[in-house]
Chains A and B, each alone.
Chain A
């Protein structure tokens, strides 16, 4: 199975900051990568799919890039509602689809 490794595991930032989260696949997955946001007690929300495609209704401050094994999620200017846990997911080698361990974005 493909392993997905996110870094950092947690990050502290302030409103207005630019934040980047990285996801690395244990083998090449082309652009078959998604990013999700999850708030406590809630279901995950799809932000980005196919590495860089913004899901409908998601603010443009979220962007994704990368291909092969290395991917990034960038939030250009943090808003209060962005503090959450973020997960990457590979969909290239399926089944199974696998998720990263998560990155918790906290308020500084």
Chain B
């Protein structure tokens, strides 16, 4: 059974940092593109970043470029999101999500349960 379990969320002050983790199991993690998608309270979905199987390609939404870094450790079946210079508008539930196909489609067939990041003083 495919499972994605996020951790690392919490309350952080504006300008602070946080590192999210996503532990994957039940599939060959190293074969899939992976993404982070977020959802502000009561709002819609926003794709944040994704990373290729070997980590050689990474892409970000404009609003987080230069502040967030996506990475992965295939030996540990884990995905990460390092978030620096956090702003109030980064407050959201952050989901990790698996791409539907190894070729990379940007469709997401498995999602974690999400971890809440709250940026507030």
Contact = CB atoms under 8 A, between A and B. Distances in A.
Interface of A: 1, 32, 34, 36, 38, 42-46, 49-50, 55, 87, 89, 91, 94-102
A34 B109 CA distance: 10
Interface of B: 44-47, 50, 59-62, 95, 100, 105-109, 111-114
Contact of A95 (B50, B95, B112): B50
Contacts of A95: 47, 50, 59-61
A90 to B, nearest CB: 9
Contacts of A102: 44-45
Contact of B47 (A42, A43, A49, A97): A97
Contact of A46 (B46, B95, B109): B109
A89 B59 CA distance: 17
B105 A49 contact: yes
B42 to A, nearest CB: 10
Contact of A44 (B50, B100, B106, B108): B108
Nearest to A42: B113
A32 B95 CA distance: 22
Contacts of A38: 45
